[in-house]
């Protein structure tokens, strides 16, 4: 997940090209992600305008007709058709409460009246339906205002994906599979300008790399690796090194000791420089620092795979 010089700069943000829907089910009422191609978390500005503007324009135009329609003969049929159209649009977009409001208007249109109540209640029905239609229109406006979006700038679009992509390369994903989610989540946090979250997930990815490294060198921690923290693994690694240094010297053994010592020193540097500070809330990060650390962790993990330090020994 390398970054260009432009991405590492602190220059003025680039024009916005994507919008990220926040909690669409709660805020926007989008119910079924399979019903429409636009039910997705990342939307382009074009997608958003096409989806919502089309709905809003159609619904408002239809509702504005209501008062005029009530002045015509046979108005109930025309108003029923108009409100039914709005109800269908509300159901399509997932605005269930608004669809219920439309249904109430339809029920009032078809409310039976007997005898003298037919003439006496005609004007009352018209006025009530006009008022309810206006309330429905205002409800639509308010609902659309509640749909929230975060902006994703053009220089960070590629960092966001709902899928856990192998952002540090396929070799890293294969060698350290448990880190893939955190690497992808770090990218999503970076795209959405959550710098501390980006660093947090980078540290979790590094922790998974540390565990995989210890596992493949057949270290024997005092408890399962999945439950071992950084310090426990470091202590075990130092004991492992001490044992190796006590063995008869060979060229192969010397290279192995050097490789383990180098990798261990790098892990310990990450702990001291970033992990302890970020995980215990001692520091806050900005875009530049998050980007630099992303590059650093990515290159480190790639070097682990290239040197075969996280792969089983041959």
Per-residue pLDDT tens over the stretch 184-213: 999 999 999 999 999 999 999 999 999 999
In a shared domain, residues 128 and 185: no
pLDDT of residue 115: 54
Residue 94 sits in a domain whose CATH number is 1.20.120
Distance CA 108, CA 126 (A): 10
* Domain termination residue (choose one: 87, 111, 145): 145
Is 169:306 a contact under the CB 8 Å cutoff?
Answer: no
In a domain, 254, yes or no: yes
In a shared domain, residues 99 and 168: no
In a domain, 50, yes or no: yes
Q: Structural domain tally of the chain?
A: 2
In DSSP notation, 120-138 reads HHHHHHHHHHHHHHHHHHH
Measured in Å, how far apart are the chain's first and last C-alpha atoms?
A: 29
In a shared domain, residues 59 and 101: yes
In a domain, 79, yes or no: yes
In DSSP notation, 216-273 reads HTT---SS-GGG--HHHHHHHHHHHHHHHHTSPP-HHHHHHHHHHHHHHHHHHHHIII
In a shared domain, residues 56 and 101: yes
Distance CA 95, CA 299 (A): 47
pLDDT of residue 201: 96
In a shared domain, residues 131 and 66: yes
In a shared domain, residues 134 and 214: no
For the chain, the residue count is 314
Is 62:69 a contact under the CB 8 Å cutoff?
Answer: no
In a shared domain, residues 134 and 185: no
In a domain, 5, yes or no: no
Which residues of the chain register pLDDT less than 70?
1-42, 113-121, 221, 307-314
In a domain, 122, yes or no: yes
Phi and psi angles of residue 147, each rounded to the nearest 5 degrees, phi first: -75, 115
* Domain termination residue (choose one: 85, 110, 145): 145
In a shared domain, residues 185 and 275: yes
In a domain, 14, yes or no: no
In a shared domain, residues 184 and 228: yes
Is 294:198 a contact under the CB 8 Å cutoff?
Answer: yes
pLDDT of residue 310: 56
In a domain, 31, yes or no: yes
In a shared domain, residues 122 and 191: no
In a shared domain, residues 170 and 287: yes
In a domain, 82, yes or no: yes
Q: Strands 149-153 and 42-44, how do they pair? A: unpaired
In a shared domain, residues 61 and 187: no
Distance CA 189, CA 192 (A): 5
pLDDT of residue 190: 93
* Domain termination residue (choose one: 97, 116, 145): 145
pTM exceeds 0.85, yes or no? no
Please give the residue range of the domain that contains residue 35: 23-145
């Amino acid at each position: 997940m390398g970054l260009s010089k432009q991405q590492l700069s602190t220059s003025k943000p680039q024009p916005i090209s994507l919008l990220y829907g926040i909690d669409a089910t709660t805020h926007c009422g989008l119910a079924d992600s399979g019903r429409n191609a636009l039910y997705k978390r990342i939307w382009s500005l074009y997608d958003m305008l096409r989806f919502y503007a089309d709905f809003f324009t159609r619904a408002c135009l239809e509702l504005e007709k209501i008062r005029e329609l009530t002045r015509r003969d046979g108005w109930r049929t025309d108003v029923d058709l108009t409100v039914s159209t709005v109800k269908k649009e509300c159901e399509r977009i997932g605005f269930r409460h608004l669809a219920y409001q439309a249904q109430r208007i339809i029920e009032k249109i078809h409310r039976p009246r007997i005898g003298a109540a037919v003439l006496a209640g005609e004007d009352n029905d018209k006025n009530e339906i006009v008022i309810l239609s206006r309330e429905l229109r205002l409800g639509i406006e308010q609902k659309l205002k509640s749909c929230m979006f975060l902006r994703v700038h053009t220089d960070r679009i590629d960092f966001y994906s709902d899928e856990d992509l192998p952002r540090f390369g396929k070799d890293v994903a294969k060698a350290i599979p448990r880190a893939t989610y955190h690497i992808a989540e770090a990218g999503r946090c970076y795209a959405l300008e959550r710098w501390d979250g980006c660093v947090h997930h980078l540290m979790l990815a590094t922790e998974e790399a540390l565990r995989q490294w210890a596992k493949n060198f057949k270290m024997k921690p005092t408890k399962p690796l999945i439950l071992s923290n950084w310090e426990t693994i470091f202590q075990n690694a130092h004991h492992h090194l001490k044992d190796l240094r006590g063995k008869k010297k060979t060229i192969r053994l010397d290279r192995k000791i050097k490789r383990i010592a180098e990798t261990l020193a790098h892990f310990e540097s990450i702990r001291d420089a970033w992990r302890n500070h970020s995980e215990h809330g001692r520091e806050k990060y900005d875009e530049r620092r998050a980007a630099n650390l992303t590059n650093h962790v990515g290159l480190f993990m790639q070097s682990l795979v290239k040197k075969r330090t996280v792969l089983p020994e041959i």
